[in-house]
Amino acid sequence: MHKEKITMIEISKILITNPRERDKFTHDEIKTNIHNIGLKRPITVRKIIHGDFLYALICGQGRLEAYQQVSETHIPAIIKDVDEETGHLMSLTENIARRKLRTTELLESVKQLKIQGLTDKEIGERLGYVVSWVNGVIKIADLLSAIQRVSLLYAAIH
C-alpha cells in the first residue's frame, strides 16, 4: 500500500468549499481529542489559487475547525492532485462513509453522487452498499424532493 505524504500547511490558506454545519457535541469531542492527543488523521486538500487561498478542503472540516479553536496556525494535510469535480466527489463519499449522517443528509449526498454522473453500481462500490440499497435511497430522495415541491406549491396557494 502506498503511503501518502503529510505536509504541514497554513490553516489561513485553506478554503472550505463545501461547508457543513457541525453537531456541537461531536465538534467539542473532536476538539477535546485534538487538545489531549493531537490529530489522529490529517485533513485532505487539493491545490488551488483563489485569492489568498492556496488549498481547497476535500475532507476534514471538523478537524480543521477544531484545530483553529485550539489556536493552531498549521495543520497536517494530505495534498491530492485532483480537479474540483473529483475533489467534490471525494468529499461526498467521505462524508457518507465516515459520518453518521442524518437521513436527509444521506439522501441528499447519494443524490449528489448520482447527479455527478456516478452509476448506482459505482455509488454502491464507493460506499460499501449493494446496488438495490442505492436504488432505494435515490427513489426516496426523489420522493422527498417531490413532497417538498408540493408543500411549497401548497403554501404558495394558501
The string of pLDDT tens digits covering residues 69-100 is 888 899 999 999 999 888 888 887 776 666 66
Q: Given CATH 3.90.1530.10, say whether it is the number of domain 1-81.
A: yes
| CA angle, 145 then 108 then 44, to 5° | 160
pLDDT of residue 2: 59
pLDDT higher at 87 or 22: 87
Backbone φ and ψ of 14, nearest 5°: -105, 125
Q: Which helix (H) or strand (E) holds 75?
A: strand 74-80
Query: Average pLDDT, whole number, for the chain?
Result: 84
CB 137 within 8 A of CB 106: yes
Task: Provide the residue ranges of all domains of the chain, joining segments of one domain with +.
Answer: 1-81, 101-157
Q: Are 60 and 42 in contact (CB under 8 A)?
A: yes
- How do 43-50 and 74-80 pair as beta strands? parallel
Asked which of 12-26, 37-51, 74-88 is least confident by mean pLDDT, the reply is 12-26
